[in-house]
Chain A
Amino acid sequence: DQQVKQNSPSLSVQEGRISILNCDYTNSMFDYFLWYKKYPAEGPTFLISISSIKDKNEDGRFTVFLNKSAKHLSLHIVPSQPGDSAVYFCAASDTARQLTFGSGTQLTVLP
């Protein structure tokens, strides 16, 4: 049973527009959430994170929103750039600091 779900395997967005990537989780014990970005033939790289005590965290063009009651988080990229084209993984951390990953969303930013 998947505890972290990314229901959209792919997303295409026009350059300059907003990209919104979604993630749902089922385990109430998750207390920290991370987004990783992965280019082909490379390892995942950390992008942005949020603690469960917050509902928003912003870093430049990237903002993560957390809705605890809905067990939902989203990553907003504004404005989207062609270099943002990659697979984005949502991950959730429990009290043991183990990460549970979603299956990823392939973002394609069209020039």
Chain B
Amino acid sequence: NAGVTQTPKFRVLKTGQSMTLLCAQDMNHEYMYWYRQDPGMGLRLIHYSVGEGTTAKGEVPDGYNVSRLKKQNFLLGLESAAPSQTSVYFCASRGTAKSETQYFGPGTRLLVL
């Protein structure tokens, strides 16, 4: 099992460009999450999904969109990147409503110039 994988590992964007980050999990988990981590701060929730076809806003959703067309994939989109979106992005998944533990991917480092 690969667990949670993220593509790409690193990306440099210019201000105003768009991109999509892909998260895939092979654990048949219902719940998926996108976080960002900035220096001196913990992980902050951007968006999440409680199942295929559903999405919801987290703590810091502005400037991002998400889609969960397939259960195993959760996409994070930046329509018009800004330097404030320079961060490390982590995807996580969780099995069921009763399970507590989230399992994380390796992260995507994004630099917006």
Complex formed: what's the CA distance from A4 to B48 in Å?
A: 20
A19-67 interface (Cβ within 8 A of B)? 32, 34, 36, 41-46, 49
**A104 close to B42 (CB less than 8 A):** yes
Complex formed: what's the CA distance from A9 to B39 in Å?
A: 11
* B15-43 vs A, Cβ < 8 Å mask (1 yes, 0 no): 00000000000000001000000001111
Does B8 interact with chain A (Cβ within 8 Å)?
no
Q: Do A89 and B101 form a contact, CB below 8 Å, given A42-B107, A43-B107? A: no
Q: Do A43 and B106 form a contact, CB below 8 Å, given A49-B100, A93-B100, A97-B100? A: yes
Does B80 interact with chain A (Cβ within 8 Å)?
no
B80-107 interface (Cβ within 8 A of A)? 90, 92, 94, 97, 100-107
Which A-chain residue is minimally distant from B42 (CB atoms)?
A101
Given known contacts A89-B42, A102-B42, what 18 new A-B pairs fall within 8 Å (CB)? Answer: A34-B100, A34-B101, A36-B104, A41-B106, A42-B107, A43-B107, A44-B43, A44-B90, A49-B100, A89-B43, A91-B42, A97-B31, A97-B94, A97-B100, A99-B45, A99-B102, A101-B43, A103-B40
Complex formed: what's the CA distance from A103 to B41 in Å?
A: 4
Pick the residue among A4, A9, A45, A102 that contacts B104 (CB under 8 A): A45
Residues in chain A within 8 A of chain B (CB atoms): 4, 6, 9, 32, 34, 36, 41-46, 49, 89, 91, 93, 97-104
Residues in chain B within 8 A of chain A (CB atoms): 4, 31, 40-45, 48, 58, 90, 92, 94, 97, 100-107
**B90 close to A43 (CB less than 8 A):** yes
**B4 close to A9 (CB less than 8 A):** no
Complex formed: what's the CA distance from A24 to B13 in Å?
A: 37
Which A-chain residue is minimally distant from B99 (CB atoms)?
A97
Chain A residues lying within 8 Å of B44, measured Cβ to Cβ, are 101
**B105 close to A49 (CB less than 8 A):** no
Q: In whole Å, how far is B98's beta carbon from the nearest beta carbon of chain A?
A: 9
